[in-house]
Chains A and B, each alone.
Chain A
Amino acid sequence: MKSLGSIRRSFAPWGDPASKPFISVKNVTKKFGEFTAVDDLSLDIYTREFFALLGASGCGKSTLLRMLAGFEQPTSGEIILDGQNLAGIPPYRRPVNMMFQSYALFPHMTVENNIAFGLKQDGMPKSDIAERVQQMLKLVKLEKFAKRKPHQLSGGQRQRVALARSLAKRPKVLLLDEPLGALDKKLREETQFELMDLQQELGLTFVVVTHDQEEAMTMADRIAVMSHGKVIQVATPAEIYEAPNSRFVADFIGDVNLFDGTITAMDEGFARLESVGGIPIRMVSTEKLSNGTSAAVAIRPEKIRVSRQPPAHAPTNAGEGEIWDIGYLGDMTIFHVRLKSGQVVKASSLNAVRAVEDPLGYDQQVWISFAEDAGVVLKD
């Protein structure tokens, strides 16, 4: 059996110009009165993709999902699903199903009947319904709870019923609105992996809305980072993290240190930049930037080294400062180093050794440094 990883590694239809998107969102705008919830947004989602819409609340991600489900109609633009324009098609005729954030389980029906609800609407023969319900119960490991009512279940079990119900009709696309939002942390982490396995097993296309970046990073093949009704970047989790295309994405996903400055020179794929904080920086850059352009270098905390001695490449990509704050997290330690310019740089280091002889302490004079490929240059 192929492992999930090997399937995932080879899965990248978005990079293949020959593959056709399964869902195409084309220049969609949605206005509520004066308020623009989704602003001229275009997206392509491919078959069997696990696609995440990530953004802060009010960024329009839920509105986009509701337009896919048919609960909202775009003000302008169109949504194509499997070659079919969805304009004017009501939710009950769309080949998509949604898992609601509140789960929206019918309180007056048993687990069984909740799952069978959509199948009955389709007029499926009774014996087939029973069989499908059993299948679904097995899939979400709730066989013993078939006769219970939703209020007799725990939060995690309800989430599974909601999932089983939305999957029962074998939709072409499953829309998930904050599917793990109501679960506690431990359960959420477990369920993330279960959802991924399920999606692979069933070969479905999942579109998930979340505000939790960790959740999106873990589960999704690709993430669309949204802000104010627009998509800022669509890319794989690794690209989003390591090569954000803008200050917003760099700042939104994970922790980041931003060194603002102006470009002083470009040489052989590297940009030279004089940072406001006084550190001369040499950083890889695929884009050719003209001198004098204001730009920022974004570097993740784990790619910044803290040492007592200045590195060999100092003063380039290195700065002197003192330890301002220490956060010990067990697996790693986070240092806040205050540079001479006053800028505070976050650096994290893995605690690979159990007992360090002479650990770094408060107020110590240290050097921070980073490699020439540790970050990205972002134009303002």
Chain B
Amino acid sequence: MAKLVPALVSRLVIIIPYAWLLFFFLVPFFIVFRISLSQTAIAMPPYTPIFDLAEGLSGVFESMRELSAANYVWLTEDVLYFNAYVSSVVIATVSTFLTLLIGYPIAYGMAKAPRSMRPMLLMMVILPFWTSFLIRVYAWIAILKPEGLLNQFLLAIGIIDQPLIILNTNSAVYIGIVYSYLPFMVLPIYSALEKMDHSLIEAAQDLGCTPIKAFWRVTFPLSLPGVVAGCLLVFIPAVGEFVVPDLLGGSETLMIGKTLWNEFNSNRDWPVSSAVATILLLILVIPIVYFQNVQSKSESGGR
């Protein structure tokens, strides 16, 4: 009995995250998936019922027969969806690359800073999270609009004589995504760089590497798990991003998050938007699985 209790507790500890995933990810996903297989209807909610328990088991089988992949077929027929997916992936890829380009030097600088300064620098990276995400994106409107702070500044110092049109273009979306997701890039890279043994760099130099070569042959390869984690943490949410393209992007900005929102709210076509969401998830599963692979490899690789 005395032995059984700790065993039960440790079992329970494992069950909790799985239960969480089951109830808050798997079950909702199956509901979404089921909705994507039904048809729109003028009803509340606006689709044919998933199943009707009132008619017992036969009712469940009845509704099963009504399942159709029509919504998925529809997605392939209208090129809009395909374009939105491709454009989302392109925007997310470019944003991820830009975030890496800016985030890596920041993380490197933080990891090389004196130990006493690191908590403060870490705080500064996390600090923006203390303000609402929406407010921060709205603030970018004030900065980027034609009569905004950026243009006023550039005009004042005489670099430009015409206000730049940034707001409501893809550039503004890039700025917004890079800004919003920078901490997700900086933190994992920082954590990878911070735990690296400095004597490895010294050893590389001792064996004939200039500091720049030592970086590329030792520091960068060893920070790769952090880079991969950071890239996925930026890429995955960026693909489905809705707020940034909606507020900062223009009519040219085509992103799947926005498409999904339109289907859901403007068109009230829940089944099609559910199909859009299901496909989006499938697209994202690929990098997630890759990430899992890299992660477990680096863990078994040890240090």
| Contact present for A100 and B203 (CB under 8 Å) | yes
Q: Which of B200, B210, B302 lies in contact with A106, CB distance below 8 A?
A: B200
| Residues of chain A at interface, number, CB under 8 A | 25
Within 8 A of B (CB), among A86-137: 90-92, 97-98, 100-102, 104-108, 117-118, 121-122
User: A166 to B199, alpha carbons, bound, how many Å?
Assistant: 14
Interface of A is mostly: loop
Give the CA-CA distance A118 to B214 in the complex, in Å.
11
CB-nearest residue of chain A relative to B218? A106
A149 with B301: in contact, given A91-B202, A104-B197 (CB under 8 Å)? yes
**In the assembled complex, A165 has its CB within 8 A of some CB on chain B:** yes
Known: A100-B199, A100-B202, A104-B203. A122 touches B208 (CB 8 A): yes
Complex CA–CA separation, A105 to B207 (angstroms): 12
- Docked pose: A122 CA to B206 CA in angstroms: 12
Contacts of A90 in B (CB 8 A): 205, 210
Q: Is the CB of A117 within 8 A of B207?
A: yes
Chain A neighbourhood of B208, CB < 8 A: 92, 118, 121-122, 169
Asked if A104 and B200 sit within 8 Å, CB to CB, the answer is yes
Q: Which residues of A contact B199 (CB under 8 A)?
A: 100-102, 104
- Contact across chains for B213 and A104 when beta carbons are under 8 A apart: no
Q: Which of B188-224 contact A (CB under 8 A)?
A: 197, 199-200, 202-210, 213, 217-218, 221-222
| Residues of chain B lying within 8 A (CB to CB) of residue A165 | 203, 207
Shortest distance between the CB of B303 and any CB in chain A (Å): 5
A149 to B217, CA, bound (A): 16
Q: Which of A156-180 contact B (CB under 8 A)?
A: 165-166, 169
Q: Does A138 contact B (CB under 8 A)?
A: no
Please indicate the chain B residues that have their CB under 8 angstroms from the CB of A149 in the complex.
301-302
CB distance from B57 to the nearest CB of A (A): 56
* Any B CB within 8 A of the CB of A151: yes
CA distance A98 to B208 in the complex (A): 11
What residues of B have a CB within 8 angstroms of the CB of A107 in the complex? 222, 301-303
Query: Is A151 in contact with B302, judged by CB distance below 8 angstroms?
Result: yes
In whole angstroms, how far apart are the Cα atoms of A121 and B204 in the complex? 9
Does A378 make an interface contact (CB < 8 A)?
A: no
Max count, chain B CB within 10 A of own CB: residue among A92, A101, A118: A92
A193 interface contact, C-beta 8 A: no
Contact A108 B210 (CB under 8 A): no
- Is B206's CB under 8 angstroms from A92's CB? yes
Q: Nearest Cβ in chain B — how far from A107, in angstroms?
A: 5
B203 engages A92 (CB within 8 Å): no
Chain B residues contacting A69 (CB-CB under 8 Å) are 202, 206
How many Å lie between the Cα of A151 and that of B203 in the bound state?
17
Contact residues of A between 63 and 104, Cβ < 8 Å to B: 69-71, 90-92, 97-98, 100-102, 104
Contacts of A151 in B (CB 8 A): 301-303
Chain B interface (Cβ < 8 Å from any Cβ of A): 197, 199-200, 202-210, 213, 217-218, 221-222, 301-303
Question: Assuming A70-B205, A166-B206, A169-B208, what are 13 further A-B pairs, CB within 8 angstroms?
Answer: A71-B206, A90-B205, A92-B206, A92-B209, A98-B206, A102-B197, A102-B199, A106-B204, A107-B222, A107-B301, A121-B209, A122-B208, A151-B301
User: Which residues of A come within 8 Å of B, CB atoms?
Assistant: 69-71, 90-92, 97-98, 100-102, 104-108, 117-118, 121-122, 149, 151, 165-166, 169
28 A-B pairs in the complex with CB atoms less than 8 angstroms apart: A69-B206, A70-B206, A71-B202, A71-B205, A90-B205, A90-B210, A91-B202, A91-B205, A91-B206, A92-B209, A97-B207, A98-B203, A100-B202, A101-B199, A104-B197, A104-B203, A105-B203, A106-B204, A106-B218, A107-B303, A108-B221, A117-B204, A117-B207, A117-B217, A118-B208, A121-B208, A121-B213, A169-B208
